[in-house]
A and B are shown apart, each in its own frame.
Chain A
Amino acid sequence: MEAPPVTVMPVTGGTINMMEYLLQGSVLDQALDSLLHRLRGLCDNIEPESFADYELVYLLKGQQGNPFLLRARRSMMHPTAPWHLRYLGQPEVGDKSRHALVRNCVDVATSHSLPEFLNEMGFRLDHEFVAKGHIFRKGALKVVVSKLFRVLVPGNTENTEPLSLSYLVELSVLAPAGQDNVSEEMRNFAEQLKPLVHLEKIDPKRHM
Chain B
Amino acid sequence: MQQREEKQLEASIDSLISRVAQLKNSLHNFIFKLENEYDRLTWPSVLDNFALLSGQLNTINKLLKNEKTPSLRNQVIIPLLLSQDRDEELAKLTELRVPVFSHEIVPDHLRTKPDPEVEEQEKHLSAEAARIGLDVAQKQIQALNKICSNLLEKLNNPREDRETESAAARQNKPFFNPADTTALVAAVGFGKGLAKCRPPGPVAPGQPGQGPIMAGGPSLQQVAVSGSSNQQAAIGGPVPPQQPGQPGKMPSNIKTNIKSASASMHPYNR
Q: Which residues of A contact B104 (CB under 8 A)?
A: none
Separation of A128 and B187 alpha carbons in the complex (Å): 10
Known A26-B177, A152-B208, A153-B206; judge A127-B185 contact (CB<8 A): no
Inter-chain contact B206/A152, CB cutoff 8 Å = yes
A177 within 8 Å of B by Cβ?
A: no
What would be 11 A-B contacts, judged by CB atoms less than 8 Å apart? Answer: A28-B177, A28-B180, A31-B176, A34-B175, A63-B258, A154-B197, A163-B193, A164-B180, A166-B176, A166-B177, A198-B178
Q: Does A118 contact B (CB under 8 A)?
A: no
Q: Is A125 an interface residue (CB 8 A)?
A: yes
Name the interface residues of B167-224: CB closer than 8 Å to any CB of A.
170, 174-178, 180-197, 199, 206, 208-209
Known: A57-B191, A129-B187. A196 touches B175 (CB 8 A): yes
User: When the two chains form their complex, are residues A26 and B184 in contact, meaning their CB atoms are under 8 A apart?
Assistant: yes
CB-CB contacts below 8 Å: A142-166 with B: 148, 150-154, 161, 163-166
Task: Quote the shortest CB–CB distance from B89 to chain A (angstroms).
Answer: 59
User: Which of A's residues lie within 8 Å of B, judged by CB?
Assistant: 24-28, 31, 34-35, 57, 63, 69, 124-129, 148, 150-154, 161, 163-166, 168, 195-198, 202, 204, 207-208
Instruction: Tell me which residues across on chain A come within 8 A of B178, comparing CB atoms.
Output: 198
Q: Is B248 at the interface (CB under 8 A from chain A)?
A: yes
Most interface-central of B170, B183, B188 (chain A CB within 10 A) = B188
Main SS of the interface on chain B? loop
New A-B contacts (12) at CB < 8 Å, excluding given A124-B199, A166-B181: A28-B175, A31-B176, A126-B197, A129-B188, A148-B187, A150-B209, A164-B183, A195-B175, A196-B175, A196-B176, A207-B186, A208-B190
Nearest first, the 8 closest Cβ-Cβ pairs linking A and B are A127-B191, A204-B189, A166-B180, A26-B181, A31-B175, A127-B194, A168-B184, A125-B197
Give B192's nearest chain A residue, CB to CB.
Answer: A207
- Shortest distance between the CB of B161 and any CB in chain A (Å): 19
| A64 CB to nearest B CB, Å | 13
Q: Are A204 and B208 in contact (CB under 8 A)?
A: no
Nearest-neighbor residue (CB-CB) of B182 within chain A:
A207
Chain B residues lying within 8 Å of A57, measured Cβ to Cβ, are: 191
Within the complex, the shortest CB–CB distance from B146 to chain A, in Å, comes to 34
* C-alpha spacing A150/B170, complex, angstroms: 32
Give the Cβ gap from A193 to chain B, nearest Cβ, in Å. 10
Q: Which residue of B lies closest to A159 (CB)?
A: B206
A56 to B176, CA, bound (A): 27
Q: In the complex, what residues of A have CB within 8 A of residue B199's CB? A: 124
Q: Is the CB of A127 within 8 A of B206?
A: no
For chain B, residues 236 to 270, give those with C-beta under 8 angstroms from any C-beta of chain A.
244-245, 248, 258
Q: Which of B190, B209, B248 has the most CB of A within 10 A?
A: B190
Residue of A nearest to B193 (CB): A163
Interface centre among B191, B197, B245 (most CB of A within 10 A): B197
Smallest Cβ distance from A1 to chain B, in angstroms?
13
- Report which residue of B184, B189, B206, B209 has the largest number of chain A beta carbons within 10 angstroms of its beta carbon: B184
* A55 to B, closest residue via Cβ: B188
* Chain A residues near B189 (CB-CB < 8 A): 204, 207
C-alpha spacing A163/B193, complex, angstroms: 8
Q: Are A204 and B190 in contact (CB under 8 A)?
A: yes
* Beta-carbon contact of B184 and A166 below 8 Å: yes
Residue of B nearest to A152 (CB): B206
How many angstroms from the CA of A151 to the CA of B195 in the assembled complex?
A: 8
What's the Cα separation between A156 and B162 when bound, in Å?
53
Residues in A neighbouring B195, C-beta threshold 8 A: 127, 150-152, 154
Bound CA–CA A63/B182 (angstroms) = 30
The answer to whether B208 and A27 have CB atoms under 8 Å apart is no
B194→A128 contact, CB < 8 A: yes
With contacts A128-B197, A152-B244, A152-B245 taken as known, whether A28 is within 8 angstroms of B185 at the C-beta atoms is: no
